[in-house]
Amino acid sequence: MKRYLVFEDGTYFEGKAFGSDVETIGELVFTTGMTGYQEAITDQSYNGQIINFCTPMIGNYGIAKKFDESPKSYIKGVLAREICETVGNYQSEMTIDEFLKQENIPGIYDIDTRAITLKIRKAGALKAAIVDSLNAGLIDEISSWKLDAKQLEKSVTPTKQTFEGSGKHVVMLDYGYKKSIVDELQKRGLKVTVVPGNTAVADIENLKPDGILLSNGPGDPIDHTDILGNIVELEKEYPVFGICMGHQLLCLANGAKTFKMKFGHRGFNHPVKDLETGKIYFTSQNHGYAVDPDSVAQTDLKITQVELNDQTVEGVEHKKYNAFSVQFHPDAMPGPHDADFIFDKFIERLNK
């Protein structure tokens, strides 16, 4: 069956339908990762977005639920040049088509994903719709769409969750966290308690943490300004580590500014340079907002890492308090594990 991808500027691409038969509107973004389609689809940082996969074929190793990054997917759609209906993986439980039907997510395949990527790179992130037929009022509907803050809230931990460990106790403030972050902490023996990102400081103190982790998550970090004061209080008392959205929030809390990128960083081929050691490592990333480097100079933060392609701020450290953050994902599921030492750095600070 034919299915259409329609942009807010009126242009459209035609392909074939797979996944759910619902029609949807979202922000269209692309990811350059050659594997990890399941992790991307279940990554809560993609909430409200249609994912265009640059790799020519997805679905070849099927879906195994144990690799989900969250219990449910909140993306708006999937675009693929080709999908594989024959799965070659003993762990697979279903095809990607079956998975998207289960999650009520529409998809389009046999579509020119390269041309779509080039369009976004030139024009920037655009709103788009996945529909089965074209109609006159569709463009107005796409243009008026915006990501609902209540939709984003659905991806956040509603109540406290505890993951046992024999070592130090980390409280993670959840803005839409990936399971792989908890996995990396537990590999190192830490006990992890996940709480909503707006949890009061007093309630966090009652949990008797040894350190605080600010998680990744979707949306504009400016929407979380109500909790920036909490981060300021926490960094005075505990070691604080921020990842992705958590990095942006740590910077905002300390007086820096953020901005929306033209088309963001999504994939795991992003080279990052450590300004202290001079070392360069490839990283996994998924973000559409970044920290303004000029604004950091007016704060008590110092820039510790930059992305080599566009000089994006990739890491900061507080000059007075035991707080630091990275824009990339050191958990890297999927992706290169060049930067998983960042978790060890956090543990060293907890032990001090």
Task: Enumerate domains of the chain plus CATH numbers.
Answer: 2-152 (3.50.30.20), 156-351 (3.40.50.880)
Q: What is the 3-class SS of 152-217, one letter each residue? A: HHCCCCCCCEEECCCCCEEEEEECCCCHHHHHHHHHCCCEEEEEECCCCHHHHHHCCCCEEEECCC
45 known member of a binding site: yes
- Name the residue type at position 283: T
244 annotated active-site: yes
Stretch among 148-152, 184-188, 195-199 having the lowest mean pLDDT: 148-152
Can you list the alpha helix ranges (DSSP code H) found in the chain?
37-41, 96-103, 113-123, 138-144, 149-153, 179-187, 201-206, 228-237, 245-253, 293-296, 341-351
pLDDT band at 311 (very low <50, low <70, confident <90, very high): very high
- How far apart are the C-alpha atoms of 305 and 310, rounded to whole Å? 12
329 annotated active-site: yes
Given 54, 68, 224, 244, which residue is catalytic? 244
Is pLDDT above 90 for 148?
Answer: no
133 known member of a binding site: no
* DSSP code for 8: T
155 known member of a binding site: no
The pLDDT score that the predictor gives to residue 155 is 67
333 known member of a binding site: no
Q: What is the pTM of this model?
A: 0.96
The pLDDT score that the predictor gives to residue 156 is 76
Given 224, 265, 287, 329, which residue is catalytic? 329
Q: What are phi and psi of 345, to 5 degrees?
A: -60, -40
The pLDDT score that the predictor gives to residue 157 is 72
